[in-house]
Amino acid sequence: MRSDARPLGYFTALLSTLTLALGPTLLGGCDKMRGGGGGGEPEKGKAPESASGASSAKPADPAGDTILIGEFGSLTGSEATFGQSTHNGIMLAIEEVNAAGGVRNKKIAVKTYDDQGKSQEAGTVVTRLITEDKVVAILGEVASSLSIAGGRVAQQYGVPMISPSSTNPQVTQIGDMIFRVCFIDPYQGFVVAKFARENLKLGNVAVLYDQAQAYSKGLKDDFIKSFKEMGGAVPSEQAYTGGDQDFSAQLTTIKGTNPDAIFLPGYYTDVGNVALQARKLGLTATLLGGDGWDSSKLTEIGGPAIEGAYYSNHYSHEEQRPEVQTFVKKYQAKYNQVPDGLAALGYDSARLLFEAMGKAPSLGGKELAAALAATKDFKGVTGVISIDADRNAKKPAVVLQIKGGKPAYAATIAPN
């Protein structure tokens, strides 16, 4: 069950984070939209001039001594660690760029809204960021379904949006204002399939996916396609709906096919419970997953049942590249924890945006989007990023294994 209430301490902590990073120039703070109306559609009387042009809702280059960007994420709800990690990464990047003098001789400020993990809220808060707050660009979301809801609004108003970590191809297919700094599911599905076939030598992999999530359905399809093309077999394909508590029927059916492994392209909240129930039923098959597993909560929920499982991800904190180790040290110093992939992607998305802002002739939607589209060989924490013609990031992926209750580096799979 999702709660619409947030403890006062959370507001205080988040506002404190914003204030420390931005100083007195920030007038907004972090806010939570409860509303219902709008459903992601622009307000009446504030329609944009065109689908990809600069919107009349914001100036081409903001006046004053700050540049305001927007962020929307799931800071509460069942996948709250996704939004919280991403937000931390973004705030660290803002703190760094402001300490170095800002962008275009101005400080960066951010307005952050919690969409509570709800598609309608995602559309509502993105509308508010554009029409009321007048942001020049938007960072968000993690879940593909929420990025699609918010991205439609950003595209309609002509405001560039970068998703740090939504991997479903439909996100950037919305239009020329929508970008991402992560790989996409066809590649992620290929990565897990290749690792299963070549590294683990698996021949039969069953699938259990979340039929309510665009992310899970898309990744399931891409894995099955790649795995079969590599000579593997999928003896059983079962579905559930996110939030379900009982997976015994699906797992019993899967057990009857005696698979070598089970591919679970869902979010950590469900995967942990699936793992527990699979082991109770005597299923000893290897568990495989995607980047939706990336949360410290995964092992808290799954415990020993998730030990030894593998999942694809965007980076490993164990990589020795200087970009990784510098980021890990700064993040640990600020937040007292090891950054997960979502934090690294939030950090990369903000830094890539700031670089494009500095190169763009102005911060109008068309010119900023063109600067983002021209990104080549950006040295990010999650890899060297180039934006392709479809506004997706071309970059390698890593595979991690749960060892001793923590993710450990297993392999790197580079694009063909």
CATH classification of the domain holding 290: 3.40.50.2300
The pLDDT score that the predictor gives to residue 60 is 61
The pLDDT score that the predictor gives to residue 53 is 38
Flag whether pLDDT at 5 surpasses 50.
no
Could you read off the pLDDT of 209-223 as tens digits, one per residue?
999 988 999 999 999
> Does residue 195 share a domain with residue 174?
no
Considering the domain boundaries, does residue 55 fall inside one?
yes
Q: Domain residues for 237?
A: 185-313
Last residue of a domain, one of 313, 344, 375: 313
> Does residue 155 share a domain with residue 54?
yes
pTM above 0.75, yes or no: yes
> Does residue 129 share a domain with residue 30?
yes
Could you read off the pLDDT of 288-333 as tens digits, one per residue?
999 999 999 999 999 999 999 999 999 999 999 999 999 999 999 9
Considering the domain boundaries, does residue 155 fall inside one?
yes
Tokens found for residue 15: 């506002």
Last residue of a domain, one of 313, 337, 367: 313
Considering the domain boundaries, does residue 298 fall inside one?
yes
pLDDT band at 92 (very low <50, low <70, confident <90, very high): very high
300 CB contacts (<8 Å, ≥6 apart)?
272
Considering the domain boundaries, does residue 111 fall inside one?
yes
Considering the domain boundaries, does residue 24 fall inside one?
yes
Considering the domain boundaries, does residue 409 fall inside one?
no
Could you read off the pLDDT of 353-405 as tens digits, one per residue?
999 999 999 999 999 999 999 999 999 999 999 999 999 999 999 999 999 99
> Does residue 326 share a domain with residue 290?
no
The pLDDT score that the predictor gives to residue 415 is 79
Domain count, the chain: 2
> With pLDDT > 90 as the criterion, what percentage of the chain qualifies?
81
> Does residue 178 share a domain with residue 201?
no
H-only helix segments in 236-321: 248-255, 268-280, 297-302
Last residue of a domain, one of 278, 313, 348: 313
> Does residue 190 share a domain with residue 178?
no
> Does residue 161 share a domain with residue 16?
yes
> Does residue 199 share a domain with residue 90?
no
116 CB contacts (<8 Å, ≥6 apart)?
2, 4, 32, 74, 75, 76, 77
Mean pLDDT value across residues 114-119: 95
Q: How many residues does the chain have?
A: 416
CB burial of 124-150 (b: ≥16 within 10 Å; e: otherwise) equals: bbbbbbbbebbbbbbbbbbbbbbbbbb
Considering the domain boundaries, does residue 115 fall inside one?
yes
> Does residue 299 share a domain with residue 361?
no
The pLDDT score that the predictor gives to residue 79 is 86
> Does residue 212 share a domain with residue 111?
no
Mean pLDDT value across residues 221-246: 97
> Does residue 178 share a domain with residue 126?
yes
Flag whether pLDDT at 2 surpasses 80.
no
Considering the domain boundaries, does residue 16 fall inside one?
yes
> Does residue 107 share a domain with residue 134?
yes
In 184-326, DSSP assigns E strands to 205-210, 237-240, 261-264, 286-289, 310-313
More confident residue, 42 or 160: 160
Flag whether pLDDT at 82 surpasses 50.
yes
Q: What CA–CA distance (Å, rounded) separates 155 from 174?
A: 7
